[in-house]
Structure 1
Amino acid sequence: MHTVTTNDNTRLYVKDWGEGSPIILIHGWPLSADSWDAQAMALAQAGHRVIAYDRRGFGRSGQPWEGYDYDTLADDLSAVIQQTGLQDVTLVGFSMGGGEVARYMSRHGGRSVSKAALVSSVLPFRLRTSDNPSGTEQAVFDKTERALIADRAKFFTGFFDTFFGAAQNGHMISGELLEWARSVAMQASLKATIASLKSFSSTDFRGDLAAFNIPTLIVHGTADKTVPIDQSSRLAARGIEHSTLIEYDGAPHGLFVTDQGRLTKDLLAFMAW
């Protein structure tokens, strides 16, 4: 098993596929690197070196008590980049993973990064505040935390229905796919699941956007009910100078499944820029 060891000695599970220009795929909450497999295979087969790793606390990585804030998560990403020896890498962050990309760009100066992509990303700020009126109320995230503590498995059943738009716009999502997603989510520790929820719901990335001084692709579904596009990517695109926003009309949150071919095609085209 290929692993990377972080600054606090947490071991991160890492997939390292293919050869060529490198790309790191950062998964969303509450899944693992496996969620990227379809895109990772296509990118590797097209001549790229593809790195995908399980965030601390999730999948097959270590489950420490601390370290689910975005400064630490960005430091974990830095450890992956350094220990795999990558240069001129493209970072791709899905949902919560967009925050790691943003904080890495600001905290580590975008070292060794040549491009970035944000897919269904939480940027720039999820929480409703006096200066962020389009955000989500804290009470919504508090309700999610209570549901996770009470019965995680039950919560994830409904969560992934919305995540993949299973009953939305005719998306054909199998029961087996939903069960797979729930089983992956249950691999994470309860501590990591709740602490990460708090991090992506409350971290303000508006100050990080100026650090994106590289070509940046932003992809988001217009019917995303998990991270609504008006609260996120449309605002992020205005704040990132070198960005291109592609909207998937009628698409939900989990684009790596629901719009697998189109997302793969767009990522391959972006790598060729």
Structure 2
Amino acid sequence: MGHYITVEKDVNVYVEDVNPEGQETILFIHGWPANHKMFEYQFIQLARLGYRCIGMDCRGFGESDKPWEGYCYDRMADDILCVVKALRLQHITLGGHSTGGAIAIRYMARHSGYGVSRLALFAAAAPSLIQRPYFPYGLNKDDVLNIIKETYTDRPKMLQGFGDMFFFQYITKPFSDWFFQLGLQAANWATAAVAAAWLDEERLFSDLGKINVPTLILHGIHDKVCRFPLAEAQKEGIKHSKLVPFRFSGHGLLFDERDKFTKELAEFIEECNFL
């Protein structure tokens, strides 16, 4: 079941609601530059286990509206709040992949985790995607600047290069083509604007300490985009957090080890219910 939710004047985001009658709700926030379809395997596996799975396309991506502005973490966290309130969601698990994980963290800090009982971070781009003088574990700033430049000059080439970094295990050519198309569904200005936000966003370091719900951190040890030390920094900064390394995964752990991904997420939710 898909529908649109208005998040501000003339801006609507697309939401896919799978198994609306499920007893437990998981709201998924996709990574850059994809959309909710990246979770299609999790939707079917988790729905079969009785979960309600909601996939939201961030503004500028997938089937959502593509305004010229509004691609900072604060505004995108506000969009999540609009979805949570519109759907009257309570006691949910908020899950985010990569940049979606960073936005989920901002949501928890900015909106005091409204409606959220559990947080799940998948290869999250936090506390910093790029290298900083006090945090040497991220991507080189020049590499990000090149991503932005190629977005405006040869976006297909940029997306192809990103796809080559994404997976650790073998994927077929048709699967690679499908993943490539997810990125093309975004607006090029949104793709570039979110990448630019990586450069400016430093408040995630302090956001980590504001999270006060049980948090699951799933991260591939071979991740070339959000390197594994980012997960260790998340574990150190978030109270009541659990880090599960994925030893046969890169950035695309939800594809590289999809069965393990589903198992760890479902067990985490069930364990929290008994706390």
TM-score tier after normalising by the smaller chain length: over 0.9
Residue 150, structure 1, aligned to residue 150, structure 2:
no
Once residues 105 and 8 of structure 1 are traced to their aligned partners in structure 2, the CA distance between those partners, rounded to angstroms, is: 24
Q: Contact 1:110–1:211 (CA<8 Å) still a contact in 2? A: no
Once residues 21 and 265 of structure 1 are traced to their aligned partners in structure 2, the CA distance between those partners, rounded to angstroms, is: 15
Count of aligned residue pairs for this structure pair: 267
Once residues 222 and 136 of structure 2 are traced to their aligned partners in structure 1, the CA distance between those partners, rounded to angstroms, is: 20
Q: Choose 84-93 or 15-24, whichever is displaced more.
A: 15-24
Question: Deviations for 1:1-44, whole angstroms, at most 9, x for unmatched residues?
Answer: 41111024311111111121111011101111000011111222
Q: How far 1:201 moved relative to its partner? A: 4.1
If the length of structure 1 is used for normalisation, what is the TM-score?
A: 0.94
1:112 aligned residue:
115
SS at match of 1:272: helix
* Residue identity opposite 2:8 in structure 1: N
Q: Contact 2:27–2:54 (CA<8 Å) still a contact in 1? A: yes
Residue 4, structure 1, aligned to residue 5, structure 2:
yes
Q: Contact 2:248–2:256 (CA<8 Å) still a contact in 1? A: no
% same residue? 35
Q: How far 1:194 moved relative to its partner? A: 0.3
Residue 211, structure 1, aligned to residue 210, structure 2:
yes
Q: Contact 1:127–1:136 (CA<8 Å) still a contact in 2? A: yes
Unaligned stretches of 5+ residues in structure 1: 166-170
Unaligned stretches of 5+ residues in structure 2: none
Question: Deviations for 1:68-88, whole angstroms, at most 9, x for unmatched residues?
Answer: 000000000001101111100
Q: Choose 99-108 or 3-12, whichever is displaced more.
A: 3-12
- What are the within-5 Å matches in structure 2 for residues 57-136 of structure 1? 57-136=60-139
1:159 aligned residue:
162
Once residues 60 and 180 of structure 2 are traced to their aligned partners in structure 1, the CA distance between those partners, rounded to angstroms, is: 16
* Residue identity opposite 1:211 in structure 2: K
Question: Deviations for 1:94-125, whole angstroms, at most 9, x for unmatched residues?
Answer: 00011111111111011111000000001111
Once residues 256 and 28 of structure 1 are traced to their aligned partners in structure 2, the CA distance between those partners, rounded to angstroms, is: 12
Q: Contact 1:125–1:202 (CA<8 Å) still a contact in 2? A: no
If the length of structure 2 is used for normalisation, what is the TM-score?
A: 0.94
1:188 aligned residue:
186
2:240 aligned residue:
242
* Residue identity opposite 2:184 in structure 1: M
SS at match of 1:132: coil
* Residue identity opposite 1:5 in structure 2: T
